[in-house]
């Protein structure tokens, strides 16, 4: 990943809503109307791509798009209209726990059958599936920890200190070559994948887009700071065992030393992060703002729901001998 590379180009539309948003950013047409937004399925390609494009303006933007579009009031109104059905669907479908403690405890118990992506890749995955997984995850890992940084100004005390400590590790502990996004780019290079930021946007489906959009949604809204902490906790608690299996998968498939190193790094680091997140970030937040207990639980549940949905898509395609991507890598 070249950190000085230009921003990505705008993606190809996947429906009326995303076409209108992309056209507006290209100065080629109006924004989508409320009828088209209402008709778009909240978790499917058209709405998820439109929302991703809106959010990306707060990260690196797109080539040829005016930087002032980030705070375009008309576009922000459309983004809010896209967020509402996404958030409502998650609250209806994903909510499983009333309290954060119960939600977090559930993450510590892994299913006996072990039918997730990391189990599949460890036990029977092939190198082409590892490459697809890296492409699918690149939209997240090449901005790893960025959306979580938005919550720092909205925390204080133990929660802020703990969050900052974990984020410092995610950003390489002061060393550019150890930034986790950099390590993932090295993994991609070892797999002979294009490492440019956002390169695989057209190739990934709604399931992967939704997992990234969730972080942006929670990170950009102060009212959802509890959900963002819940999301962060879910990621850190489940990362170490999952990364151990993925490290084994990298070795078995011959993915290369950079791929092995990326997951080995997460096994060690995230085992420590889990304790900091539970005992300092979550506990500190709820000590200061106990009314956010349910929001933290919702963040955990929404993360689990969307990750399970992505896993079902990936493993379903691979077990059928098919690609999980919309186009070849």
CB crowding 112-132: b at 16 or more within 10 Å, else e = eeeebbbbbbbeebeeebbbb
- Say how far apart CA 13 and CA 50 lie, in whole Å: 8
- DSSP designation for 318: H
Query: What pTM, to 2 d.p., does this model score?
Result: 0.95
- pLDDT exceeds 90 at position 2: no
How does residue 320 score in pLDDT terms, banded at 50, 70 and 90?
A: very high
pLDDT at 240: 86
Pseudo-torsion of CA 43, 44, 50, 51, nearest 10°? Answer: 20
User: How far lies 12's CA from each of 52, 62, 212, in Å?
Assistant: 12, 13, 18
pLDDT at 270: 67
- Considering the domain 97-319 in this protein, what is its CATH number? 1.20.910.10
Question: Residue 318: which of 144, 158, 126 has the closest Cα?
Answer: 126
Ranges of each domain in the chain: 16-92, 97-319
Per-residue pLDDT reduced to its tens digit, 127-156: 999 999 999 999 999 999 999 999 999 999
pLDDT at 6: 83
Residues above pLDDT 90, as percent of the chain:
90
């Amino acid at each position: 990943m070249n950190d000085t590379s230009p921003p990505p180009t705008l993606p190809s539309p996947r429906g009326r809503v995303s076409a209108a948003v992309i056209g507006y950013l290209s100065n080629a047409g109006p924004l989508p109307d409320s009828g088209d937004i209402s008709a778009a399925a909240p978790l499917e390609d058209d709405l998820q791509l439109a929302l991703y494009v809106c959010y990306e303006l707060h990260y690196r933007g797109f080539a040829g798009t005016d930087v002032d579009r980030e705070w375009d009031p008309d576009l922000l109104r459309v983004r809010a209209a896209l967020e509402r059905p996404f958030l409502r669907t998650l609250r209806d479908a994903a909510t499983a726990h009333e309290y954060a403690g119960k939600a977090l405890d559930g993450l510590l118990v892994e299913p006996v059958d072990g039918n997730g992506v990391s189990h599949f890749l460890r036990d029977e995955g092939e190198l082409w599936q590892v490459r697809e997984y890296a492409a699918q995850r690149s939209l997240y890992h090449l901005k790893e920890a960025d959306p979580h940084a938005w919550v720092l100004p909205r925390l204080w005390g133990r929660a802020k200190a703990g969050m900052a400590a974990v984020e410092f590790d995610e950003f390489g502990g002061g060393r550019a070559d150890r930034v986790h996004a950099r390590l993932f780019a090295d993994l991609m290079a070892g797999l002979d994948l294009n490492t440019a930021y956002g390169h695989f946007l057209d190739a990934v489906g709604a399931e992967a887009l939704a997992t990234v959009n969730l972080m942006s949604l929670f990170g950009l809204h102060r009212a959802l700071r509890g959900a963002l902490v819940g999301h962060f906790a879910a990621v850190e608690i489940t990362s170490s065992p999952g990364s151990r299996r993925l490290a084994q998968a990298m070795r078995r498939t011959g993915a290369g030393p950079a791929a092995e190193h990326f997951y080995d790094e997460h096994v060690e680091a995230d085992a420590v992060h889990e304790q900091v997140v539970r005992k300092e970030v979550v506990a500190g937040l709820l000590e200061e703002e106990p009314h956010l207990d349910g929001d933290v639980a919702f963040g955990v549940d929404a993360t689990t729901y969307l990750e399970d949905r992505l896993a079902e898509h990936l493993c379903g395609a691979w077990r059928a001998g098919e690609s999980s991507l919309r186009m070849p890598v």
